[in-house]
């Protein structure tokens, strides 16, 4: 809510009831006109969103509902738009009546009839409110300014969006009611509502801007801009800090509860943070930890780090002497710190920090997808990671924490390692040097972890750039295949459109679908350079279809006789171009000659009954063709989970492929064709590229000869397991 001391420069008098009503009626007319101009573009955006959802959704029911919704909207564009304008006009008229009765905004809070409302309707009401709220947030100052001007019209100095008859919720309600009239399925209403948002919705910012301009032209708060800016600047003083997002807040609370749990147990249940000297677990100065920052070990931090440095030196000597397992199976080193640290050196929160980090590393060391070489490097980082976590508890709640990013980056590096070379892989040796620097040098500066991550990512980027040389040839071949595939699809559509009339002779249908489709494919693939070739191929096909249609009059038969030599010459020329010399060619032309001869011969006029039978047969054939095509298109829209998985892949994704010898190859998705019909996978060096079509890749996933390698944050997965072990 915004409250400003404003003054109408036109007049200090309040509007009369009749003047106010007339003004609102004019605004309603303006809004209706503006929305009528924008509804067409909105309808198109909504249709595309529903179609995209039907192609991308992993839920079969949602995919079907969204595809059906797309069809309803496509077939009822005009009705939907007309319904919306009518609904908006009626809803705004209702709002004006409520103003006259001094009941504006009250309908939002009237829950007296909830017992008569179904659960689905209640759910839709919640969705409507959510959509309206997102639109309100996106509108910002434009809506606030309109609220103030509406408030002046109503004679109020304090106004809210709920008191504005033109609030976003009215527009959302109009869209919803208009949709219900064209789509009878209640389940799809929620699917449609979920698509609505600031980017897809009507351009309310522009519409509200024009409403503001219309009111300024009537001298209603013309100087509002400066007053509003001043008030907004004043309101910034003393504002509370921004709220933590719900997702982050939940994680924050769980980590906080974990770190404080031991203190609660020792004190009998309600030990406060003050007893542990913990004013804020997650506060930290910029740039890294230091002993003047608000950290847990502020009193004993320097002593603790000296102890950890000495322990690290001892571990290094034991590793050199071969006294330690090079590949850790658990975070035993961290637990030894908690058990063996001198008395008074660790607070209860410090001990819980160690245990939480140890649990995370236990999960990491047990992860089967991470090779032993990488686990060895992670094991070397136990002490540096502990220092980082003791200094900064945001390690557990911030995805982009430098130390946490290093663990995640190392886990992802395991995808690029050559497992056959193992410790001798040059990439491993370079990463080992980077990790060794962190192990020896880290004290309090988190930037060292950032440097390590940058160094490892630079190594991987270098490999990606080198692989481009190997990919040039397979990419060119994939682009050629994709171009031919798209050309064939266009050729099939050209033929299908002609066959759907039901008037094409059966033997010509077979010829077009088996041979002429090859000619049209070539013509479509070369149309950018030779557009006339496609036009000539289509014209020859149409001439052939025309030539086998019945000719009722002598003039039509005469025309056929005159045109037939050139038609046959063009047919033979095109067939020679694709080198179709099989015996079937002779059979086709023989059948074609018989049909032409029968057409040219004088035919007795068919009876009315026979003509009706012919017309019915043609209509049935056309209907059957259209139904088969629509069924095929529908099947193509509803994808199984494996096609959806392929459509969700991005460059950089990793898959494991089973080999015939029983082995497994881990390959990276290095390139995706522009139309996403071809995918090229390579090893880290870009060698041995493998090309897959979208269908081939989906089949590999379906029959489990390929599987997607999980590359999300290993630390996040570990935290989820540790903090919510029952999930």
pLDDT in tens, 205-221: 888 888 888 888 888 88
Query: What's the CA gap between 610 and 19, in Å, rounded?
Result: 73
Q: What is the mean pLDDT of residues 64-93?
A: 87
Instruction: Give me the pLDDT at residue 592, please.
Output: 93
Mean pLDDT, range 648-676, rounded to an integer: 84
Least confident of 12-16, 545-549, 558-562: 12-16
CATH assignment of 642-723, among 3.40.50.300, 2.30.30.140, 1.10.1750.10, 2.30.29.30: 2.30.30.140
| Percent of the chain predicted with pLDDT > 70 | 76
* Distance of alpha carbon 645 from alpha carbon 643, whole angstroms: 5
For 206, other C-beta atoms within 10 Å of its C-beta total 12
Grade residue 225 by pLDDT with cuts at 50, 70 and 90.
Answer: low
Which H/E stretch holds residue 155? none
Tens-place pLDDT, residues 406-464: 999 888 887 777 777 878 888 888 888 988 888 888 877 788 888 888 888 877 776 55
Residue 628 scores a pLDDT above 50? yes
Q: Is the pLDDT of residue 286 over 50?
A: no
To the nearest 10 degrees (0 to 180), the angle between helices 332-340 and 301-320 is 130
The helix or strand, by DSSP H or E, that contains position 571, with its residue range, turns out to be helix 554-577
Check pLDDT > 80 for residue 617: no
Residue whose C-alpha is closest to residue 389's, from 478, 326, 287, 296: 296
Task: Show the tokens assigned to 201.
Answer: 């919705």
Distance of alpha carbon 607 from alpha carbon 618, whole angstroms: 17
Q: Average pLDDT of 617-628?
A: 61
Q: Over 339-384, what HEC string results?
A: HHCCCCCCCHHHHHHHHHHHHHHHHHHHCCCCCHHHHHHHHHCHHH
CB atoms within 10 A of CB 236: 7
Of the listed ranges 106-115, 125-134, 300-309, 385-394, the one predicted with least confidence: 106-115
At 541 the pLDDT is 93
Average pLDDT over residues 646-666: 82
Quick check: 565 pLDDT over 90? yes
Whether 310 shows a pLDDT value over 90: the answer reads no
- The most confident of the ranges 126-135, 192-201, 467-476 is 192-201
Residues 482-506: b if buried by 16+ CB within 10 A, e if exposed: bbebbbbebbbebbbebbbebbbbe
Choice between 235 and 701, residue whose per-residue pLDDT is larger: 701
Q: Match 């090079």 to its residue by tokens.
A: 326
Instruction: Judge whether residue 275 has pLDDT over 50.
Output: no
Angle at 436 between CA 431 and CA 442, to 5 degrees: 120
Return d(Cα 672, Cα 478) in angstroms, integer: 9
Region 693-702 average pLDDT: 90
Mean of the per-residue pLDDT values for the chain?
77
Residue 534 and residue 524 in contact, taking contact as beta carbons nearer than 8 Å: yes
Place of tokens 């179609």: 51
* 514 closest CA partner among 525, 503, 506, 524: 506
Among 51-65, 161-175, 351-365, the range scoring the smallest mean pLDDT is 51-65
Q: Are 654 and 413 in contact (CB under 8 A)?
A: no
Any idea which residue has 């004290």 for tokens? 443
% of the chain with per-residue pLDDT over 90: 12
Indicate the domain borders of the chain. Answer: 2-235, 248-445, 479-629, 642-723
| pLDDT at position 78 over 50 | yes
Q: In what order do the strands lie in the sheet with 690-693?
A: 690-693, 678-682, 664-672, 654-658, 706-708
Longest dimension (CA), the chain: 116
Backbone angles phi, psi at 90, to 5 degrees: -70, -40
Angstrom distance (rounded) from CA 478 to CA 697:
14
Task: Classify each residue of 36-45 as buried b or exposed e, where b means 16 or more C-beta atoms within 10 Å of its C-beta.
Answer: eeebeebbee
**What average pLDDT score do residues 642-656 get?**
86
pLDDT at 162: 83
Mean pLDDT of 700-719: 86
Q: What are the angstrom distances between the C-alpha of 649 and each of 262, 686, 690, 702?
A: 44, 18, 16, 15
Task: Provide the total of helices (H) and of strands (E) in the chain, helices listed first.
Answer: 27, 7
Q: What is the pLDDT of residue 295?
A: 42
Angle at the Cα of 605 (from 600 to 609), degrees rounded to 5? 130
Please tell me the least confidently modeled range out of 32-41, 271-280, 302-311: 271-280
pLDDT of residue 157: 67
The string of DSSP letters for 207-263 reads: HHHHHHHHHHHTTSSTTHHHHHHHHHHHHTTTPPPPPPPHHHHHHHHHHHHHHHHHH
Lowest-confidence region among 117-131, 172-186, 246-260? 117-131
630 φ, ψ to 5°?
Answer: -65, -40
Number of residues that this document lists for the chain: 727
Given a cut of 90, whether residue 77 has pLDDT beyond it is no
Contact 618, 505 (CB under 8 A): no
Q: Residue 519, class by beta-carbon neighbours within 10 Å (0-12 exposed, 13-18 middle, 19+ buried)?
A: buried
pTM higher than 0.75:
no
Residue 237 backbone phi and psi in degrees, to 5: -75, 125
User: When comparing pLDDT for 270 and 693, which is higher?
Assistant: 693
Tell me what the mean pLDDT of segment 685-707 comes to.
Answer: 86
Q: How confident is the model at residue 138 (pLDDT cuts 50, 70, 90)?
A: confident
- Is the Cβ–Cβ distance between 719 and 396 less than 8 Å? yes
> Angle at which helices 119-139 and 204-217 pack, to 10 degrees?
60
Question: Residue 562 — pLDDT band, cuts 50, 70, 90?
Answer: very high
Q: 289: which 2 tokens? A: 């930890």
Tally Cβ neighbours within 10 Å of residue 479.
Answer: 15
- Residue 638: CB atoms within 10 A of its CB come to 14
Per-residue pLDDT of 482-504, as tens digits, reads 899 899 989 998 988 888 777 78
Residue 511 pLDDT class (50, 70, 90 cuts): very high
Q: How far is CA 454 from the centre of its chain?
A: 28
Mean per-residue pLDDT, 386-390: 88
Task: Check whether 534 has a pLDDT greater than 80.
Answer: yes
- Quote the pLDDT of residue 462: 65
Query: What value does the mean pLDDT take over residues 58-69?
Result: 79
pLDDT reading at 120 higher than 60: no
Residue 465's pLDDT band (cuts 50, 70, 90): low
pLDDT: is 468 or 472 the higher one?
A: 472
Q: What is the pLDDT of residue 626?
A: 64
pLDDT band at 535 (very low <50, low <70, confident <90, very high): very high
């Amino acid at each position: 809510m915004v409250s400003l001391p404003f003054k109408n420069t036109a007049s200090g008098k309040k509007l009369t009831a009749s003047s106010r009503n007339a003004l609102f009626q004019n605004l309603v007319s303006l809004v209706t006109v503006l929305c009528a101009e924008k509804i067409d573009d909105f309808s198109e955006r909504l249709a595309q969103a529903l179609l995209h959802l039907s192609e991308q959704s992993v839920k079969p029911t949602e995919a079907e509902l969204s595809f059906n919704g797309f069809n309803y909207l496509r077939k009822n564009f005009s009705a939907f738009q007309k319904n919306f304008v009518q609904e908006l006009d009626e809803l705004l008229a209702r709002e004006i009546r409520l103003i006259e009765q001094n009941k504006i905004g009250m309908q939002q809070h009237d829950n007296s009839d909830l017992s008569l409302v179904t659960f689905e309707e209640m759910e839709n009401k919640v969705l409507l409110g959510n959509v309206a709220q997102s639109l309100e947030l996106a509108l910002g100052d434009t809506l606030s300014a309109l609220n103030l001007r509406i408030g002046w019209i109503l004679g109020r100095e304090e106004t809210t969006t709920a008191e504005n008859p033109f609030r976003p919720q009215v527009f959302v309600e109009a869209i919803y009611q208009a949709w219900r009239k064209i789509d009878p399925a209640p389940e799809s209403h929620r699917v449609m509502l979920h698509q609505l948002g600031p980017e897809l919705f009507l351009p309310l910012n522009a519409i509200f801007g024009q409403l503001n301009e219309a009111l300024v032209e009537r001298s209603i708060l013309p100087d509002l801009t400066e007053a509003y800016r001043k008030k907004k600047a004043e309101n910034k003083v003393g504002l509370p800090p921004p709220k933590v997002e719900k997702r982050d807040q939940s994680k924050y609370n769980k980590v906080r509860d974990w770190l404080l749990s031991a203190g609660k147990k020792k004190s009998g249940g309600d030990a406060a943070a003050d007893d542990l000297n913990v004013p804020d677990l997650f506060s930290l100065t910029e740039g890294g930890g230091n002993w003047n920052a608000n950290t847990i070990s502020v009193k004993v931090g320097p002593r603790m780090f000296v102890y950890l440095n000495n322990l690290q030196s001892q571990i290094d000597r034991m590793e050199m002497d071969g006294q330690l397992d090079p590949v850790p199976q658990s975070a035993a080193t961290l637990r030894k710190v908690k058990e063996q640290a001198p008395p008074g050196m660790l607070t209860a929160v410090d001990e819980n920090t160690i245990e939480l980090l140890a649990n995370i590393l236990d999960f990491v060391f047990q992860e089967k997808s991470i090779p032993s070489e990488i686990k060895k490097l992670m094991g070397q980082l136990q002490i540096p990671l502990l220092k980082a976590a003791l200094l900064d508890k945001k390690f557990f709640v911030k995805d982009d924490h430098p130390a946490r990013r290093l663990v995640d980056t190392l886990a992802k590096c395991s995808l690029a390692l050559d497992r056959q070379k193992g410790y001798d892989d040059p990439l491993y040796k370079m990463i080992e040097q980077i990790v060794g620097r962190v192990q020896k040098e880290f004290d309090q500066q988190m930037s060292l972890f950032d440097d390590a991550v940058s160094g490892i990512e630079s190594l991987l980027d270098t490999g990606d750039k080198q692989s481009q040389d190997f990919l040039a040839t397979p990419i060119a071949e994939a682009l050629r295949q994709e171009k031919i595939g798209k050309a064939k699809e266009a050729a099939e559509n050209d033929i299908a459109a002609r066959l759907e009339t039901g008037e094409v002779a059966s033997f010509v249908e077979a010829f077009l679908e088996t041979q002429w489709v090859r000619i049209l494919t070539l013509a479509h693939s070369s149309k950018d350079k030779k557009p006339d070739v496609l036009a000539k191929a289509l014209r020859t096909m149409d001439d052939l279809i025309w030539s086998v249609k019945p000719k009722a009059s002598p003039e039509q038969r005469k025309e056929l006789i005159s045109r037939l030599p050139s038609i046959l010459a063009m047919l033979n020329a095109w067939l020679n171009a694709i080198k179709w010399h099989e015996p079937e060619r002779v059979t086709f032309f023989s059948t074609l000659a018989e049909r032409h001869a029968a057409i040219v011969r004088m035919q007795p006029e068919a009876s009315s009954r026979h003509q009706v039978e012919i017309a019915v047969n043609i209509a049935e054939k056309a209907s059957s063709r259209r139904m088969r095509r629509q069924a095929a298109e529908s099947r193509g829209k509803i994808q199984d989970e494996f096609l959806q998985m392929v459509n969700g892949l991005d460059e950089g994704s990793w898959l494991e492929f089973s080999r015939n010898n029983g082995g497994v190859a881990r390959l990276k998705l290095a390139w995706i064709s522009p139309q996403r019909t071809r995918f090229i996978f390579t090893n880290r060096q870009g060698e041995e590229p493998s090309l897959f079509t979208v269908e081939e890749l989906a089949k590999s996933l379906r029959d489990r000869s390929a599987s997607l390698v999980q590359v999300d944050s290993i630390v996040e997965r570990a935290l989820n397991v540790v903090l919510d072990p029952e999930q």
